[in-house]
Chain A
Amino acid sequence: MLELISHYPLAAALLALVGMGAVFGALLGYADVRFRTEGDPIADQINNLLPQTQCGQCGYPGCRPYAEAIAGGEAINKCPPGGESTIADLADLLDVEALPLDQEHGEEKVKAVAYIREPECIGCTKCIQACPVDAILGAAKQMHTVIVSECTGCDLCVDPCPVDCIDMIPQAQGLHSWRWPLPDPVSSVAAIIATDSNRGQAA
């Protein structure tokens, strides 16, 4: 065997390389079948960051299609409900520059929930069919109402309503939603660490 190799070094090397190629090729082929990932993992990650309102303001029929489009190279600044924070998250994930929100697709608004003026509702079920998250309760010729906790504020129910009885009401600032604001960099009136400038003259 060794003699053969030393006699035909070129052929032996060739054989070895071809053999290795065949083995690794088979391994890779097996791994491709065995460890195949279903779907597009990048699109999944992008979809996780999108606000899931399914509002279609980006021009795609839902968040998932837009996520797939971003994975394919679409701009990341077409999602008004997500706003600046979603753009920042996407830029972070994809390692691209964060762009300002594309005004063509709408502005970032205060989160709102749909409200059906119930006396005016005729029970046509058109809004129920439009709601992507089943947040509207009702039946044909019965009054409809919105489950506030499930509403994502996507506006999709407003257009189909034949009697225009749906309002989008911005969510009220309550105790629960109150957050400490960032301090104003110019005047620090809000600063409550009140003794800080007192220590020079303190007793």
Chain B
Amino acid sequence: MRTVFRFHGGIHPSENKQQSLQTPIEFAGIPPELVIPLSQHVGAPASSVVAIGERVLKGQMIAESTGYISLPLHAPTSGTITAIEDRTIPHPSGYKAPCLIIATDGEDEWQTTRCEPNYQDLTPAELVQLLRDAGVAGMGGAGFPTAVKLSINPDVHIETLVINGTECEPYITADDALMRERGAQIIEGARILSYIINPARTLIGVEDNKPEGIASLRYAARDTGIDIVAVPTRYPSGGEKQLIEILTNKQVPSGGLPADIGVMCQNLGTTVAIHDAVIKGRPLISRITTVTGRSLDQPQNFEVLLGTPLRFLLSRAGYQGSTNNKLIIGGPMMGFTVPNADVPVVKTCNCLLAPTENELPSPPPAKACIRCGQCAEVCPASLLPQQLFWFAQGNEHEKLERHNLFDCIECGSCSWVCPSHIPLVQYYRAAKADIVLHRENHLKSEHARGRFEFRQARIAREVHEKQTRREARRQAALAHNNDSGSITSPSTDPVQAAIARAKARKAGQQKPRSEPESS
């Protein structure tokens, strides 16, 4: 039994996980229309490579990556591209963004894809490229492209590979369902990962409120050397830095990456996606999404094609619209509300929560901070939330940065314990955004200054060059005058001769023309 350590703070919100675990994972079905946003996660949006009216097959690439931190998109099922237009996407802003619309034909016809069951024959770099081409992104949080995360500096040696199966947020059971049903695939995905980065040990951290999942994984991982570690249930143990501290007792330095202490963390759902991409040759076209909340008759986990509108998913789960007051993508702690049910599922949607008003009531108005200090006790990043709140209200960017605002993982523990119901996390998010904007503006003005100074220098140089040319001409003319006075006679100068010829011709032309005028 491996010793587990503890991180600072943490809370115990009611779990609400059992509701969605009553039935096995079910395929949600093919909706009549799929909406695929070109921007699904962090990084540059993909660029469409299909035309309106084109028929696409399941697994066919329909949009290509446009940069290093960018991924291609694939058709989740066969159908026809009917439009490329702006639709509301699952994003806290509620904005519209370009989406590919596929009218499905129900045939679910596959394109032949490349699979590599004997992945050991490939080099790690080739496997990373395969994962990039398959569009595999982190399935836990921001959806960072897995290929980028795996392309670490060769000088850095990864000692420990951590697979994050904690799933600490209330309501969400997508990873738990995967563990129960697809333990072998998870372990195979973890082995592919460890083949790529070659760590000394591979650990899978699972919260101890998932005994079935742990048992299933332990069975699948027998004789593989992969260690399944049960960690105490405490939110947010699933935070990357928190889980690393629990498992290794090492803290990721402020502003640093896990690779700095020789650790890499991958989400458990991502390992299944990696398995599917490498062994089955199936690009990332579907995911497991928990659909839960008391507004649903049958909360459960669905295997959902990316681009499925939430409305379709909700109807599959017996949605009672009259009792529901908001739709949340993600969990109740870190999720965000979406404006309507036409929003599609994307690579990062691990949960769709449709609570009743009674279940998740709107928070009461915030009162004044009473400096009780509970927020600092629960902060998993060991920050001083009330101090940060103070500075965020006063827009004191320098002090915010000095108090390590950017180490905040926005887990919401501070807001959850706050007896005054202050939306602390909202302040930190806004302050972070403000600081980032400020930095960007500063960079832009530096750039503009560079261009302005370059222009000034160029104009000065041009003026100077003009002056030197003028001076050179003047000197040449002077020298020429001196020369012509002494050596060349006017008759032999070709310019003077030409002028004389022209004058003579003009005089000759004017004479005959003047005759008719006079007559």
A178 at the interface (CB under 8 A from B): yes
Type the 1/0 row for A178-203, where 1 means its CB is closer than 8 Å to any CB of B.
Answer: 11111101111111111111110011
Chain B 386-409: CB-based contact to A (< 8 A → 1; otherwise 0): 000000100100100000000000
Assess whether B433 is in contact with A195, with CB atoms less than 8 Å apart: no
The reply to whether A197 and B451 form a contact with Cβ atoms under 8 Å apart is: no
Q: Least Cβ distance of B40 to chain A in Å?
A: 11
Q: Check A180/B92 contact, CB under 8 A, given A52-B448, A175-B39, A175-B97.
A: yes
Q: Does A50 contact B (CB under 8 A)?
A: yes
Contact of B363 among A150, A179, A180, A193 (CB under 8 A): A193
Considering the complex, give the chain B residue whose CB is closest to the CB of A189.
B362
B180 in the interface (beta carbon within 8 A)? no
A68 CB to nearest chain B CB (Å): 15
User: Is A85 at the interface (CB under 8 A from chain B)?
Assistant: yes
Residue from B335, B395, B452 having most chain A Cβ neighbours under 10 A: B452
Cβ of B449 within 8 Å of any chain A Cβ, yes or no, is yes
Q: Is A132's beta carbon under 8 Å from chain B?
A: yes
Q: Which residue of B lies closest to A135 (CB)?
A: B451
A133 within 8 A of B: yes
Residues in B neighbouring A190, C-beta threshold 8 A: 423, 426
Tell whether A52 pairs with B363 under 8 Å between CB atoms, given A180-B92, A203-B14: no
Known: A174-B95, A175-B93, A187-B365. A194 touches B445 (CB 8 A): no
Residue on B nearest A187 in the bound complex, by CB: B365
B360 within 8 A of A: yes
Quick one: which of B355, B426, B436 has the most chain A CB within 10 A?
B426
Is B360 within 8 A of A195, CB to CB?
A: yes
CB-defined interface of B415-440 with A at 8 Å, one 1/0 digit per residue? 11010010101110110111011100
Instruction: Determine if B423 and A183 form an interchain contact, defined as CB atoms under 8 angstroms apart.
Output: yes
Does chain B have a CB within 8 A of A88?
yes
A195 touches B170 (CB 8 A): yes
Q: Chain A: which residue is nearest B97 at the CB level?
A: A175
Complex Cα distance, B446 from A51, in Å, reads 8
Distance of A28 from chain B, by nearest CB (Å): 34
Question: In residues 323-337 of chain B, which contact A (Cβ within 8 Å)?
Answer: 326, 328, 332-333, 335-337
| A157 beta carbon closer than 8 Å to chain B | no
A152 touches B (CB below 8 Å): yes
Given A178-B95, A190-B423, also A197-B434 (CB < 8 A): no
Task: Determine the residue in chain A with the shortest Cβ distance to B336.
Answer: A192
Chain B residues closer than 8 Å to A50, beta-carbon distance: 445
Bound: A161/B376 CA distance, A? 59
CB closest residue in chain A, given B11: A199
How many interface residues does A have (CB within 8 Å)? 44
Contact pick for A182, options B16, B170, B426, CB 8 Å: B426
A57 interface residue, CB < 8 Å from B?
Answer: no
Q: Is A145 an interface residue (CB 8 A)?
A: no
Interchain CB contact under 8 A, B423 and A180? no
In angstroms, Cα B14 to Cα A183, docked, is: 26
Please count how many residues in chain B sit with their CB below 8 Å of the partner chain's CB atoms.
57
Check A53 for interface membership: any CB of B closer than 8 A.
yes
Q: Which residues in B have their C-beta under 8 angstroms from that of A133? A: 448, 451-452, 455
Known A-B contacts A54-B452, A180-B426; A188 and B365 likewise in contact (beta carbons under 8 Å): yes
The reply to whether A194 and B328 form a contact with Cβ atoms under 8 Å apart is yes
B85 at the interface (CB under 8 A from A): no
The answer to the question of B141 belonging to the interface, with a C-beta cut-off of 8 Å to chain A, is: no
| B366 with A193: CB separation less than 8 A | no
Cα distance A190–B430 in the bound complex, in angstroms: 12
Is the pair A188, B423 in contact by a Cβ cutoff of 8 Å?
yes
CA A120 – CA B108 in complex, angstroms? 52
- Considering the chains assembled together, what is the distance between the CA atoms of A114 and B397 in angstroms? 31
Q: How far apart are A84's CB and chain B's nearest CB, in angstroms? A: 9
Shortest CB distance B67–A (Å): 13
A154 to B364, CA, bound (A): 45
Q: Are B429 and A180 in contact (CB under 8 A)?
A: yes
Give the docked Cα–Cα distance between A194 and B392 (Å): 21
A132 and B426: CB pair below 8 A? no
Q: Could you tell me the distance between the alpha carbons of A147 and B487 in the complex, rounded to whole angstroms?
A: 57
Quick one: which of B436-475 are within 8 Å of A by CB? 436-438, 441, 444-446, 448-449, 451-452, 454-455
Cross-chain contact A52 with B446 (CB below 8 angstroms): yes
Assess whether B448 is in contact with A152, with CB atoms less than 8 Å apart. yes
Residues in B with CB closer than 8 Å to A85 are: 438, 441
Q: Would you call A134 an interface residue if the criterion is a C-beta within 8 Å of the partner chain's C-beta atoms? A: yes
Please indicate the chain B residues that have their CB under 8 angstroms from the CB of A187 in the complex.
365
| Chain B stretch 303-359: residues in CB contact (< 8 A) with chain A | 326, 328, 332-333, 335-337, 355, 359
Q: Which residue of A lies closest to B15 (CB)?
A: A203
**Choice from B93, B361, B415, B444 contacting A198 with Cβ under 8 Å:** B361
Q: List 14 A-B contacts (CB under 8 A).
A: A48-B446, A88-B395, A152-B444, A174-B95, A175-B39, A179-B433, A183-B366, A188-B363, A188-B365, A189-B362, A191-B363, A193-B415, A196-B416, A203-B14
